[in-house]
Amino acid sequence: MRLHGYFRSSASYRVRIALNLKGLGAEQLTHHLRKGEQRDPAYLALNPQGLVPTLQDDRGAVLTQSLAIIEWLDEIHPHPPLLPKDPLRRALVRAFAQVLACDTHPVQNLKVLARLRELGLPEERVTAWAAWANREGLSACEKLIANEAGPFCFGDVPSLADLCLVPQLGNARRFGVDVAAFPRLLKAEAAAKSLKAFADAAPERQADAE
């Protein structure tokens, strides 16, 4: 398999964690987002959105969107599972993941922040926007798992929820959010980061890290 990504991309980070948890290898191909390499015509032919990650399987099939990629990996390599068997629990995990991957991360990512700068917002207001988006999403997630024993988001094993949480907390810190306000999320993060699969997927451990 080939994984097209970028070391600091939260969505790529999620997929790297999933691959590691499944014990799967993938050739890592870098597209430097700040240099606009994701808009290269050859890459756009693979992913018309010009976003990362993109995963090519060993037969050449192309998959985009991190949650779709992760659920596909979970279906073809079901051990260890990243979603609970119980339908209700699966829905709860998906809902938590989507708060971050669909409603939080997209409105504070590089593309949106660049557009805010183009519209004339000063840098401090751009950063404030990103921090606000992170606080809103993480605050909701803190409440969603407040009654979950843990240590992970939903029980004693990592799930899709944890794959989304760890990168998002990293983003929040970069934008100056006081994450101490989210003790339950920090508990899940600590449990996740104690696992080699999460540690090896961290941005600073990637070959393209700067």
Burial 79-101 (b: 16+ CB within 10 A, else e): eebbbbeeeeebebbbebbebbb
Please state the rounded mean pLDDT for residues 48-75: 97
Q: Report the pLDDT value the prediction gives residue 206, as an integer from 0 to 100.
A: 97
Q: Which of helix, strand or coil describes residue 56?
A: strand
List 29's β-bridge partners, or say none: 4
| Domain assignment of residue 168, given as a range | 87-197
CATH of the domain at 32: 3.40.30.10
Residue 109 forms part of a structural domain: yes
Q: Which amino acid would we find at residue 204? A: E
The residue among 55, 80, 105 that closes a domain is: 80
13 and 67 share one domain: yes
Work out the pLDDT band at 38, boundaries 50, 70, 90. very high
Question: Residue 24's pLDDT is what?
Answer: 97
User: Quick one: average pLDDT of 158-180?
Assistant: 98
- Which band of pLDDT confidence, cut at 50, 70 and 90, is reported for residue 185? very high
Predicted local distance difference test score (pLDDT) of residue 12 = 98
**CB contact at 8 A, 140 and 99:** yes
Using 50, 70 and 90 to split pLDDT, how confident is the model at 179? very high
The pLDDT-based confidence of 87 (bands split at 50, 70, 90) is very high
Could you tell me if 70 and 95 lie in one domain?
no
Domain assignment of residue 210, yes or no: no
Given 80, 107, 127, the domain boundary residue is: 80
Residue 53 has a pLDDT of: 98
Decide: helix, strand or coil at residue 186. helix
Number of domains making up the chain: 2
Mean pLDDT, residues 187-204 taken together: 98
Q: What is the pLDDT of residue 54?
A: 98
Same domain, 104 and 182: yes
Q: What is the pLDDT of residues 106-127, one digit of tens each?
A: 999 999 999 999 999 999 999 9
Q: Domain check: are 53 and 154 in the same one?
A: no
Are 165 and 192 in contact, with CB atoms under 8 Å apart? Answer: yes
Could you tell me if residue 146 is inside a domain? yes
Cα separation, 164 vs 55, in Å, equals 17
Last residue of a domain, one of 80, 109, 126: 80
The CA–CA distances, whole Å, from 9 to 54, 58, 164, 168 equal 12, 23, 12, 10
Whether residue 74 lies inside any domain: the answer is yes
